[in-house]
Amino acid sequence: MDGKVFPGEGFVGVLGGVGPAATALFMDLLVRATDSDTDQGHINALVTQHAGVPDRTAHILNPAGSADPGPVLAADARFLEQAGAEFLVLPCNTAHHYSEAIESGVGIELVSIVAATAEAAREAAGPGGKVAIFATEGNINAGVYQDALDSLGVGHLVPDAATQAAVNELIYDQVKAGRPVDNELFLSALRTVSGQGADAVILGCTELSVIYDREGYRAENLARAARGLPFLVDSLSALVRATVARAGKPLRPGF
């Protein structure tokens, strides 16, 4: 015995709980995105729904006064590797600030939600296009998506203070708090960055992915873009597509 719970079965390890609703949605999307008509054709997954991971934004903005999520995420990664995971995914954009700490403690790959989303945004914006970044203040402050888009040569903009406050409200006061989503607030933020020249908007927080999926934006994305609003690039969907590809499974057409 090598200590693995399920040796040889090709499991993805999901570093979850950051946040819990986004992790649950990731697993739902993973099933929806895999083109299989049998249970056995889907992706094996081991999930740590570790809601107690310290707040990522709090630590980025105030590292001396907040608990460090890095060692906790690294410990979860080691647990998943030891249990039999062949690669890891992290369905949280801000937590990818700690990817170096995670990867340094394991011998398996961490598939990057940021890299997958930035590439999708480049394609959505088109040559010479500009991408707006909707994310937590921690993510924006750490330059997570700014750096990724710069590496691809993609122009980008971050929200002004009022728009960032709206994004914060959507993330923390609504989705994370389990309260109804103010869709007009979301649309107002989209109109603002559209007026600033954004051709696409990265939904760079997986709580925004919850809005995208559960409030009907997924189904209406192309139609909304045709009406002049930016195309929405959902980070959780980008990670799901990357996970399906890494697991060697077929992607369901249209996902």
Mean pLDDT by 10 residues, the chain (255 residues): 60 96 96 97 96 96 96 97 96 95 96 98 96 97 96 97 98 96 96 96 96 91 77 97 97 94
In the chain the domains, ranked by start, together with CATH numbers, are: 11-112+239-246 (3.40.50.1860), 114-235 (3.40.50.1860)
Contacts of 60 (CB under 8 A, 6+ apart): 94, 97, 138, 139, 141, 142
Of 144, 13, 25, 142, the C-alpha closest to 75 is 13
Strand partners for 109: 87
Cβ of 200: how many Cβ atoms within 10 Å?
Answer: 23
The helix, strand and coil proportions of the chain, stated in percent and rounded to the nearest 5, come to 55, 15, 30
Distance CA 92, CA 70 (A): 13
Q: How far is residue 136 from each of residues 25, 98, 212, measured CA to CA in Å?
A: 19, 15, 16
Distance CA 242, CA 237 (A): 9
Q: Regarding beta strands 155-157 and 130-134, do their DSSP bridges make them parallel or antiparallel, or are they unpaired? A: parallel
Catalytic residue ranges: 92, 205
CB 205 within 8 A of CB 174: no
Distance CA 137, CA 26 (A): 22
The sheet with strand 44-49 has its strands ordered as 44-49, 11-16, 85-89, 109-111
Task: Please give the pLDDT value at position 151.
Answer: 97
